[in-house]
Amino acid sequence: MAEAEKKAPRVINKSGTLKMEDKVAATKQTRDIAGKKMDRKNRRDRVKADVAPKEFDEITIAVDRVSRTVAGGRRMRFKALVAIGDHKNRVGIGVAKGNDVTTAVAKAGRKAKKSMITFNVDGETICHETRTKVTGADVLLKPAAPGTGIIAGGTVRSIMGLTGVKNLISKSLGSTNKVNIAYAVIEGLKQQVPRKEWNKGEKK
């Protein structure tokens, strides 16, 4: 058996060095300059340790190119609409401009995090029907039965996807401006009142 191992071909790496056998690699100890043993960490373990679970999820709803006329001509910039949420009952939106897309999205994300709201939910749907208007946007939000899903347009679907609401019926009745629709959705969520507080205002 020993003779067979000696006659086995030796594998040489591209650099010209001999490839270390698995048995030898498993028992080899890495030492620092002082000669102390160092724990050997796998590269995949380091990557897993660096990736920590995020508290909030962020989504870029729209990026538009805007221009401003100045003395020297047109000044081109980018405007980003970003939504952020925790898949429960906290959500926020932010709008910001920047000289490039990355800067605009980063600024909008920071604004969205600062403007987060906490709204009331009824299980996996909203508490009651609301209709909110922001400038030209007119958004109707209605609760739905379990299993309905989110029946809504692109902007409303993107925002509600970052919340814990799983069943919702929505309709945009006014402008198609995504920024105004986003603000109208946030206003509608702010107006949600829990079922147990519906009749408090009628008591004398």
Domain definitions of the chain by residue range: 57-117, 120-195
SS3 32: coil
Q: Please report which helix (H) or strand (E) contains residue 183, including its range.
A: helix 178-190
What is the arithmetic mean of pLDDT over 23-28?
Answer: 66
Q: Please report which helix (H) or strand (E) contains residue 3, including its range.
A: helix 2-7
CATH topology of domain 120-195: Ribosomal Protein S5; domain 2 (3.30.230)
Domain 57-117 part of CATH 3.30.160.20: yes
CA angle 43, 49, 50 (to 5 degrees): 95
What is the arithmetic mean of pLDDT over 132-153?
Answer: 93
In terms of pLDDT, which residue wins out, 96 or 38? Answer: 96
Percent of the chain with pLDDT over 70: 72
Q: Please report which helix (H) or strand (E) contains residue 141, including its range.
A: strand 137-143
Q: Tell me, what's the pLDDT at 55? A: 79
Mean pLDDT for the chain?
Answer: 83
What is the arithmetic mean of pLDDT over 42-56?
Answer: 55
Bridging pattern class, strands 137-143 and 168-172: antiparallel
Length of the chain measured in residues:
204
CA angle 121, 130, 170 (to 5 degrees): 85
Is residue 204 over pLDDT 60? no
SS3 139: strand
Bridging pattern class, strands 168-172 and 150-151: parallel
